[in-house]
Chain A
Amino acid sequence: MQPSLQPPSPAQLFVPPHVTKAALFLGFLKIGLIGFGGVGPWARRVIVEERGWMAEADYAAVLGFGQILPGANTINAAVIIGDRFQGAAGAAIAVLALLSAPMAVLIAAAALYDRFGSLPDVRGALSGVAVGAAGLVIGTGLKMARKLRPDAIALLVGGCALVAVAAFRAPLLATVLALAPIGVGLSFVRRSPR
Chain B
Amino acid sequence: MKPGVLLALAKTFGGLSLVAVGGANAAVPEIQRQVVGRLHWMDDGAFAHLFAISQAAPGPNVLLVSLIGWRVAGLAGLLVATVAMNLPSSLLAFAAGRAWRRWSASPWIGRLQRVLGPIAVGLIVASGVVMARTSDHGLIAAGLTAAVAAFVVFSRRSPMWALGAAAVAGVALNRLGVGL
Contact = CB atoms under 8 A, between A and B. Distances in A.
A73 interface: yes
For chain B, the bracket of interface size reads 35 or more
B174 A139 contact: no
A88 B63 CA distance: 23
B151 interface: yes
A157 B118 contact: yes
A141 interface: yes
Contacts, number: 387
Interface stretch (B3-11, B32-40, B84-92): B84-92
A127 B117 contact: no
B89 A139 contact: no
A159 B148 CA distance: 22
Residue of A74, A101, A102, A103 ringed by the most chain B CB atoms within 10 A: A103
Contacts of B123: 67, 161-162, 165, 172, 175-176
B112 A127 contact: no
Contact of B147 (A74, A91, A135, A164): A135
A133 interface: yes
B103 interface: no
Contacts of A146: 153
Contact of B122 (A33, A40, A159): A159
A70 B17 contact: yes
Main secondary structure of the interface of B (DSSP, over half): helix
A162 B58 contact: no
Main secondary structure of the interface of A (DSSP, over half): helix
A102 B112 CA distance: 34
A37 B163 contact: yes
B122 A80 contact: no
Contacts of A158: 118-119, 121-122
Given A76-B90, A187-B114, A37 B55 contact: yes
Given A72-B61, A83-B97, A135-B144, A60 B112 contact: no
Interface of B: 17-26, 49-50, 52-63, 66-67, 70-71, 78, 82, 85-86, 88-90, 92-94, 96-98, 100-101, 108, 111-132, 135-136, 141, 144-153, 158-160, 162-163, 165-175, 179-180
